[in-house]
């Protein structure tokens, strides 16, 4: 990283989830405060029902679709997987003009993260360091099948002008997917096909893994290169989910 900015996982969670949630709540109170009581607003937000609940859900969806937001959220989740028993720092490549050692607000962080980088985030503690490139499989216009995914990997990751080169021998590729229940996604079968193919290729990358939510029960990290295997964390144990529980108190305190 040419201009890294590092922040503890706990501090990043507070800036990312805490401040952004607080802003959403303030905006909702301004928009609906004259129409509904605070109790009614909180109930609709909690249940995702009614006019307030629908608006809140749309705002969350819009927030999660922004690529930089997804990168930060995935970085926090990867810290949960790669540092199970320690408290790592999470580093991002920042724009050249950024020279500070800390950020005060969520907006300041977003404004200064460099988007076009070979390393999207770096995670480290006193014992280990991991470099990640985060990708999103384009399921909206590319159907899911092991062979379609392999086409994507060959084009977006393994081509000579992408990441598979000598300078990236320590780079970990993370491919985020959002398999729908009605899709053709077959976890074990598909990943076995992908793993077998990748092991037949000349790959210089450190790892290639998939990351996905399994029915809001587990977050799954599935490795397809160099080995085949997976690890899962119960949804309620993720830093993301625990942060949501803490942030729930933010709008309850407005009552």
Task: Answer yes or no: are the C-beta atoms of 59 and 45 closer than 8 Å.
Answer: no
pLDDT at residue 248, rounded to an integer: 52
Per-residue pLDDT of the chain (255 residues; tens, 9 = 90+): 889 999 999 899 888 876 666 777 778 888 888 888 878 887 777 777 888 878 777 776 665 555 678 888 899 999 999 998 898 999 999 999 998 888 888 888 888 999 888 899 999 999 999 999 999 998 777 888 899 999 999 999 998 789 999 899 999 999 999 877 656 788 899 999 999 999 999 999 999 999 998 888 899 999 999 999 999 999 888 887 776 665 555 445 544
Q: What share of the chain is helix, strand, coil (3-state, %, to 5)?
A: 45, 20, 35
Q: Which residues contact 248 (CB under 8 A, 6 or more apart)?
A: 46
CA distance 37 to 102: 38
Would you call the peptide bond into 226 cis, given omega within 30 degrees of 0 as the criterion? Answer: yes
* Token pair recorded at residue 153: 């990997």
Task: Answer yes or no: are the C-beta atoms of 134 and 121 closer than 8 Å.
Answer: yes
pLDDT at residue 20, rounded to an integer: 67
List the chain domain ranges: 4-252
Count other Cβ atoms within 10 Å, centred on residue 141.
5
Count other Cβ atoms within 10 Å, centred on residue 253.
9
pLDDT at residue 28, rounded to an integer: 83
Question: Residue written as tokens 């605070």?
Answer: 38
């Amino acid at each position: 990283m040419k201009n890294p900015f590092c922040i503890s996982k706990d501090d990043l969670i507070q800036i990312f989830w805490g401040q952004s949630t607080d802003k959403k709540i303030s905006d909702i109170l301004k928009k609906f405060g004259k129409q509904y009581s605070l109790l009614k607003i909180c109930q609709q937000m909690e249940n995702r029902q009614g006019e307030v609940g629908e608006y809140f859900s749309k705002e969350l969806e819009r927030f999660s679709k922004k690529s930089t937001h997804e990168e930060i959220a995935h970085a926090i989740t990867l810290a949960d997987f790669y540092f199970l028993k320690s408290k790592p720092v999470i580093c991002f490549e920042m724009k050249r003009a950024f020279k500070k050692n800390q950020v005060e607000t969520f907006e300041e962080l977003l404004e200064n993260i460099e988007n076009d980088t070979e390393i999207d985030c770096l995670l480290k503690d006193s014992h280990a360091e991991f470099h990640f490139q985060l990708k999103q499989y384009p399921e909206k216009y590319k159907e899911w099948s092991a062979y379609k995914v392999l086409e994507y990997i060959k084009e977006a990751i393994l081509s000579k002008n992408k990441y598979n080169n000598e300078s990236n021998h320590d780079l970990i590729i993370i491919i985020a997917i959002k398999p729908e229940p009605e899709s053709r996604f077959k976890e074990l079968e598909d990943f076995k096909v992908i793993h077998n193919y990748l092991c037949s290729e000349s790959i210089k990358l450190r790892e290639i893994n998939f990351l996905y939510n399994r029915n809001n029960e587990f977050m799954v990290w599935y490795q397809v290169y160099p080995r085949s295997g997976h690890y899962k964390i119960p949804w309620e144990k993720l830093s993301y989910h625990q942060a949501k529980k803490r942030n729930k108190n933010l709008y309850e305190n407005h009552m």
